[in-house]
Amino acid sequence: MTDQTTNPASAGMSDQKSKEAYFTASQGQLIWARFKKQRAAMIAAGVLVVLLLSGLFAPFLSPYNPTVAGKNDDYTNGAPQIPQFCDDAGCSWRPFVYGVERERSMETNFRWVTKINTDDRKYLSFFVEGWEYKLFGFIPMDTHLFGAPDGFVHLFGTDATGKDIFSRTLHAILTSMQVGTIGVFIAFVLALVIGGISGYYGGWIDSVLQMITDAVRTVPAIPLFMAVAAFMPPELSAESRFFYISMILGLIGWPTLARRVRTHLLTERNQEYVLAAQLCGASSGHVIRRHLLPSFTSYIIVDLVISFPYMVLSETALSFIGLGLKDPVNSLGVMLQNVTSADVLLNYQWYFIPVFFFIALVMAFVFVGDGLRDAADPYSDNNK
Amino acid sequence: MLQFAKFVMTRAIMALITLVIVSLVVFSLMELVPGDCAERYLAFKNTQGSSIQIANELEAERARLGLDRPFLERWGSWIAGAFQGDFGDSCILRVDIAQLLGDKFWISLALCVASLALAYTIAIPVGIIAAASSSAFLNNSLRLFSYLGLALPNFLLALMIMLFATVYFGNTLTGLFSPEFRDADWSWDRFVDLLSHAWLPIFILGWSATAFALQTVRALMSDEIGKLYVTAAAARGVSGGKLLWRYPARHALGPIVNSLGFDLNRIFNELPIVALILTLTEAGALLIEALARSNDQQLAGAIIFLLTASIVTLNFLTDVLLAVLDPRVRKSIIR
Mean pLDDT across chain B, nearest whole number?
77
The pLDDT tens digits of the residues spanning B223-271 come to 888 788 888 888 888 877 778 887 888 888 778 888 888 888 888 888 8
User: Is the Cβ pair A366, B33 closer than 8 Å?
Assistant: no
Report CA Rg, chain B.
25
Interface test with A, best of B20, B159, B161 (most A CBs within 10 A): B159
**Do B151 and A309 make contact, defined as CB atoms within 8 angstroms?**
yes
- Does A51 fall in a domain? no
Contacts with B261 from chain A: Cβ below 8 Å: 218
Residues A178 and A112 in one domain: no
pLDDT confidence band for A109 (50 / 70 / 90): low
Written as one string, the DSSP assignment of A10-70 is HHHHHHHHHHHHHHH--HHHHHHHHHHT-HHHHHHHHHHHHHHHHHHTHHHH-SS-SSGGG
Query: Under an 8 A CB cutoff, do A233 and B34 touch?
Result: yes
Residue A44 lies in a domain: no
> What pLDDT is attached to residue A3?
45
Number of structural domains in chain A:
2
Asked if B320 contacts B6 with a C-beta cutoff of 8 angstroms, the reply is no
Interface contact flag, A218 B152, Cβ < 8 Å: no
| A117 and A227 housed in the same domain | no
Chain B nearest C-alpha distance from A316 (Å)? 9
- Same structural domain, A294 and A262: yes
Tell me which residue in B152, B162, B291 faces A226 most closely, judged by beta carbons.
B291
Question: Is residue A322 left, alpha or beta, with left meaning phi > 0 and alpha meaning psi from -120 to 50?
Answer: left
Nearest C-alpha in B relative to A222: B269
- CB nearest to B288's CB, from A321, A342, A362: A321
Most B CBs within 10 Å: which of A244, A307, A321, as the mutation test of the B interface? Answer: A321
pLDDT of residue B209 exceeding 50:
yes
Angle between helices A221-229 and A293-321 (to 10 degrees): 70
Of B259 and B59, more confident: B259
Looking at A161, A183, A217, the residue that finishes a domain is A161
Q: Choose the closest CB to B304 out of A224, A320, A359.
A: A224
DSSP state of B184: P
Q: How does residue B184 score in pLDDT terms, banded at 50, 70 and 90? A: low
Residues of B in contact with A342 (CB under 8 A): 163, 166
What is the chain A residue with the closest CA to B160? A345
What rounded mean pLDDT belongs to chain A?
77
Final residue belonging to a domain, choices A113, A136, A161: A161
Is A33 within a domain? no
**Chain B touched by A223 (CB under 8 Å):** yes
Of B140, B150, B304, the CB nearest to A223: B304
Residue B195 has pLDDT above 80, yes or no: no
Question: Mutual orientation of helices A353-376 and B136-151 as an angle, nearest 10°?
Answer: 120
pLDDT of residue A8: 55
Q: What is the CATH number of the domain that holds A308?
A: 1.10.3720.10
> Does the pLDDT value for residue A383 go beyond 60?
no
Residue A138, φ and ψ in degrees, nearest 5: -140, -15
**Cβ-defined contact of B153 to A316 (cutoff 8 Å):** yes
Note whether A146 and A231 are same-domain residues. no
Interface test with A, best of B166, B212, B269, B307 (most A CBs within 10 A): B269
* B287 → closest Cβ in A216, A226, A346: A226
CB contact under 8 A, A219 and B272: no
pLDDT at residue number A271 = 81
Which are the contacts of A230, defined by CB distance < 8 A and separation ≥ 6? A323, B33, B291, B292, B295, B300
Nearest-CA distance from B18 to chain A in Å? 5
Is the model's pLDDT at A181 over the cut of 70? yes
A221 closest CA partner among B24, B268, B151, B211? B268
Q: Is residue A266 part of a domain?
A: yes
Query: What pLDDT is recorded for position B335?
Result: 44
Residue A110 inside a domain? The answer is yes
- Residue A346 and residue A234 share a domain: yes
Domain contains A312: yes
Q: Considering only the beta carbons, identify the residue of A218, A221, A366 that sits closest to B312.
A: A218
**E strands in chain A:** 84-87, 90-103, 113-123, 125-135, 139-147
Nearest neighbour of A220 by CB, restricted to B147, B150, B308: B308
CB contact under 8 A, A230 and B292: yes
**Preferred mutation among A219, A244, A335, A343 to probe B, highest tally of B CBs within 10 A:** A219
CA distance B292 to chain A (A): 6
**Residue A154 shares a structural domain with residue A174:** no
Residue B265: list chain A partners with CB under 8 A: 218, 220-221
Render pLDDT for A95-105 as a digit per residue (tens, 0 to 9): 777 777 776 66
- Asked if B155 lies within 8 A of A223 by C-beta distance, the reply is no
A251 — contact with chain B (CB < 8 Å)? no
Q: Please write down the long-range contacts of B18-22, taking CB distance under 8 Å and 24 or more positions apart.
A: B18/A211, B18/A214, B18/A215, B18/A218, B18/B312, B19/B308, B19/B309, B19/B312, B20/B79, B21/A211, B21/A212, B21/A215, B21/A216, B22/A215, B22/A216, B22/A218, B22/A219, B22/B305, B22/B308, B22/B309, B22/B312
Instruction: Tell me which of A167 and B291 has the higher pLDDT.
Output: A167
A322: pLDDT confidence band, cut at 50, 70 and 90?
confident
- Kindly state the average pLDDT of the residues A361-378: 80
* Nearest chain A residue (CA) to B15: A215
Where residue A4 falls among pLDDT bands split at 50, 70, 90? Answer: very low
Are A279 and A365 contained in the same domain? Answer: yes
Chain A residue with Cα closest to B34: A231
Which among A127, A142, A161 is the end of a domain?
A: A161
pLDDT at A204 over 70: yes
- In a domain, residue A10? The reply is no
CA distance linking residue B38 with residue B204, whole number of Å? 41
Percent with pLDDT over 70 in chain B: 79
A370, A327: one domain = yes
Residues of A in contact with B22 (CB under 8 A): 215-216, 218-219
Mutate to test the interface with B, among A38, A212, A218 (most CBs of B within 10 A): A218
Q: Which residue of B has its CA nearest to A318?
A: B273
- Shortest CB distance from A220 goes to which of B18, B166, B268? B268
CA–CA separation, A243 and A324 (whole Å) = 11
| Radius of gyration, CA atoms only, chain A | 27
In the predicted structure, residue A2 carries a pLDDT above the cut 50? no
Per-residue pLDDT at A5 exceeds 60: no
Size of interface A-B (CB pairs under 8 A): 125
**Confidence at residue A384, expressed as pLDDT on a 0 to 100 scale:** 40
Whether A245 and A314 map to the same domain: the answer is: yes
Mutate to test the interface with A, among B30, B139, B147, B297 (most CBs of A within 10 A): B147
pLDDT tier for residue B45 given thresholds of 50, 70 and 90:
low
Q: Do A226 and B166 touch (CB under 8 A)?
A: no
Lowest mean pLDDT, pick from A30-39, A65-74, A314-323: A65-74
Nearest Cβ partner of A214 from B18, B270, B301? B18
- pLDDT for the residue A169: 86
pLDDT > 80? residue B70: no
Same structural domain, A192 and A274: yes
Chain A's closest residue to B275, CA to CA, is A321
Chain A closest-CA separation from residue B222 CA (Å)? 11
Residue A321 belongs to some domain of the structure: yes
Same domain, residue pair A176 and A297:
yes
Residue-wise pLDDT tens digits, A131-162: 777 777 677 777 777 777 677 777 787 777 77
**Residues A127 and A223 both lie in one domain:** no
Element (H, E) at B148: helix B136-151
Supply the range of the domain harboring residue A375.
Answer: 169-383
A226 contact B CB<8A = yes
